[in-house]
Structure 1
Amino acid sequence: MSALPSDSRPPVPTAPAAPASAAAPRPRRAVDWRLKFLLLALVWGSSFMFIGIAAQVLVPVHITLGRMVTGLLPLAAVLLVRRGRLPRGARTWFHLSVTAFLLNVVPFTLFGYAGQLIPSALSGICNAATPLFALLFSLLLLSDERPTRARLAGLGLGFLGVLVVFGVWTGLAGAGPVGMLLAVGAAVCYGIGTPYLRRFLSGTGHSPLELSTAQLITGTVQIGIAAALFTDAPAALPLPVVAAVAVLGALGTGFAYVLQYAVIREAGATVATTVTYLAPVVAIGLGVLLLGEDLAWNEPVGALIIIAGAALAQYRPRRPAPVGG
């Protein structure tokens, strides 16, 4: 989401501005946007490690439920502090429900299943294909998106990287490919949900924070009903698992949204989207260093190809500045 949270309070009258020579210097931000950018990459990249820890005990539906609830709490707190308002129209809530299903409920659950079958680093690598699927479905669903040579070349290069990660020359048998298909399926959901959100929710007049909070509310209701109908409550919850789910939700789903808004506001939406390229690097590093996971040579190589393809697909040449004025 590229829009920014709005401030509904009326402007406060101020005294006439002082001359430029006497103007006070702008106060420096307490935290530079680059640090927030790195924190966002660390938070999202580490999410797959926490999913892997939680998947050792919890079923994926419970991981999703815990993540949604603990992710909703910080967003709701920020919304209250900023005096935001939730949407009221039934049509908007319907589209929010579809968006939550595509961007939260299904992909979170698929990553939970993938965490039982493949290393967390490999889940992070598969997630790197998200920008490619988002671009692909944007070209199909949004009338203002146009295919270009760079975009098509980037899509082709990115999907070649996916094939390299899968190691298609070795065949597709065993739990590894199944887990990777689940993780790629989650990335496909992100790819469908993103243009859907832009098409049906970008013009509602609500800020990203308001829409995200409402989205998590609808998603929490959906996964809560599924958990009540189709699963049994876990007999015991080890403290590391509880901590993993809490961190996964509060940081990876809640705090990460706040960080993303700050980076978009201070550095622009284009810069903010490039965090997707760092997240798999973090996932690989944490998985190998902290969890002792092993990766075949083709998996990090495929990740680099995917990242290169996504970067090429999102490349937009700068327009020359107009002459004169």
Structure 2
Amino acid sequence: MCYEIKEGIVAAMTTATTASAASPPSSASAAAPRPRGRLDWRLRFAALSLVWGFSFLLIKVGTDGYAPFQVTLGRLVFGTAVLAVAMALKRERLPRGVRTWGHLAVAAFLLNALPFSLFAYSELTIPSTLAGICNATSPLWGMALSMVALSEDRPTRVRVAGLGIGFLGVLTVLGAWEGFHGLDAMGTAMALLASLSYPIGWIYVRRTLAGSGESHLSLTGAQLLLATVQLAVVTPLFTSVPSRLPVLPLLAIVALGALGTGFAVLVQYGLVAEVGPTTAQMVTYFIPVIATAAGVAVLGESLRWSTPVGAVVVLLGAALTQVRRKGA
């Protein structure tokens, strides 16, 4: 399962692809070659890792000049614009049906509006490095939730062990033996809650929108549009119009939306189609590494020994939660 693919519908597509791959393929489907992109998939994989890894740095820079809700709204506006252009070029239409739009509104809140806002608020008081590592806990939350919410997700000893190891890594990152000294509890809690929101949203999407018959690009475009509307309603209630427009934070917001939200989704589509969901989801394990390196090298954030050590333990646990029984 891929809980780190942040736009929701892509996660549902990834899961559906995994499920179909587990079934005995017909001779026609077995012989069908995967589509190949113009650029080698390894380069696109590296680009996606960098874009998502640098997203936490861009959030931090954006919040230096604008309120967190404004950063999130800008991110969604530019991300939606990129998908709108892609839909126009491919002549895709928005989905139809009131029920579909209702489910998309919930998905937009759980997978975009809520976690994006929580990460933006969290980075007012915690380093971008810590936010990136908290983001890596999504597979752990997802594993725990799926055992309860998805009957087909049967736990194994390895996966349960991965869950325990992963949360031990979280405690290491937070320095639990020191009483979490030096950490902002509220900011850290918001980052972890944002990470929890992704698998909740993914499970909701899987239950309500998987197999809807609409194209994944159309559904994701509509989802981002609805998230943009949600933030457009909320933002004026909690923020005022900026008296000035700092250029660097504004550029960070543009990059965060156009690259980290819009472009990243399109690249992820191509990777899943070409190399399959198992390989594509490996990008998950590079994001906290890049986020940490970017925060330290570019922003000059401090790094205790427990942060990288704990991050490695978190990623090990997350990887184990993805291990399935043979033939499953």
Q: Same fold (TM over 0.5)?
A: yes
Match of 2:41 in 1: 33
> What does 1:1-325 correspond to in 2, within 5 Å?
1=11, 3=13, 29-172=37-180, 175-319=183-327
CA distance in 1, matches of 2:173, 2:188: 9
Aligned amino acid, residue 222 of structure 1: Q
- The alignment-based identity, stated in percent, is 49
Q: Name whichever of 82-91 and 280-289 sits farther off.
A: 82-91
Q: Name whichever of 196-205 and 175-184 sits farther off.
A: 175-184
Match of 2:3 in 1: none
For residues 19-39 of structure 1, the C-alpha deviation after alignment (integer angstroms, 9 at most, x for no partner) is: xxxxxxx99742111111111
Structure 1 residues 223 and 28 mapped into 2: Cα distance closer, same or farther (>3 Å)?
A: closer
Structure 1 residues 129 and 54 mapped into 2: Cα distance closer, same or farther (>3 Å)?
A: same
Question: How far off its partner does 1:160 sit?
Answer: 0.9
CA-atom RMSD, angstroms?
A: 1.8
Question: How far off its partner does 1:109 sit?
Answer: 0.7
Structure 2 residue matching 1:274: 3-state secondary structure: helix
Question: How far off its partner does 1:255 sit?
Answer: 0.2
Q: How many residues align?
A: 299
Question: How far off its partner does 1:317 sit?
Answer: 4.8
Question: How far off its partner does 1:3 sit?
Answer: 2.7
Structure 2 residue matching 1:66: 3-state secondary structure: helix
Question: How far off its partner does 1:229 sit?
Answer: 2.3
Instruction: Please identify runs of 4+ aligned residues in structure 1 that moved more than 6 A.
Output: none
Aligned amino acid, residue 107 of structure 1: P
Contact (CA 8 Å) 2:136, 2:288: kept in 1 or not? yes
Aligned amino acid, residue 157 of structure 2: R
Question: How far off its partner does 1:210 sit?
Answer: 1.0
Aligned amino acid, residue 184 of structure 1: L
Aligned amino acid, residue 316 of structure 2: A
CA distance in 1, matches of 2:38, 2:221: 26
Contact (CA 8 Å) 1:2, 1:269: kept in 2 or not? no
Structure 1 residues 2 and 190 mapped into 2: Cα distance closer, same or farther (>3 Å)?
A: closer
CA distance in 2, matches of 1:135, 1:272: 18
For residues 230-253 of structure 1, the C-alpha deviation after alignment (integer angstroms, 9 at most, x for no partner) is: 221111111101100000000000
Aligned amino acid, residue 111 of structure 1: F
Q: TM-score, normalized by length of structure 1?
A: 0.88
Contact (CA 8 Å) 1:160, 1:305: kept in 2 or not? yes
Contact (CA 8 Å) 1:158, 1:308: kept in 2 or not? yes
Task: Give the structure with higher Rg (CA).
Answer: 1
Aligned amino acid, residue 99 of structure 2: R
Question: How far off its partner does 1:139 sit?
Answer: 2.0
Structure 1 residue matching 2:130: 3-state secondary structure: helix
Unaligned runs of 5+ in 1: 5-25, 321-325
CA distance in 2, matches of 1:142, 1:80: 36
CA distance in 2, matches of 1:233, 1:246: 18
Match of 1:21 in 2: none
Q: Name whichever of 116-125 and 134-143 sits farther off.
A: 134-143
Contact (CA 8 Å) 2:35, 2:274: kept in 1 or not? no
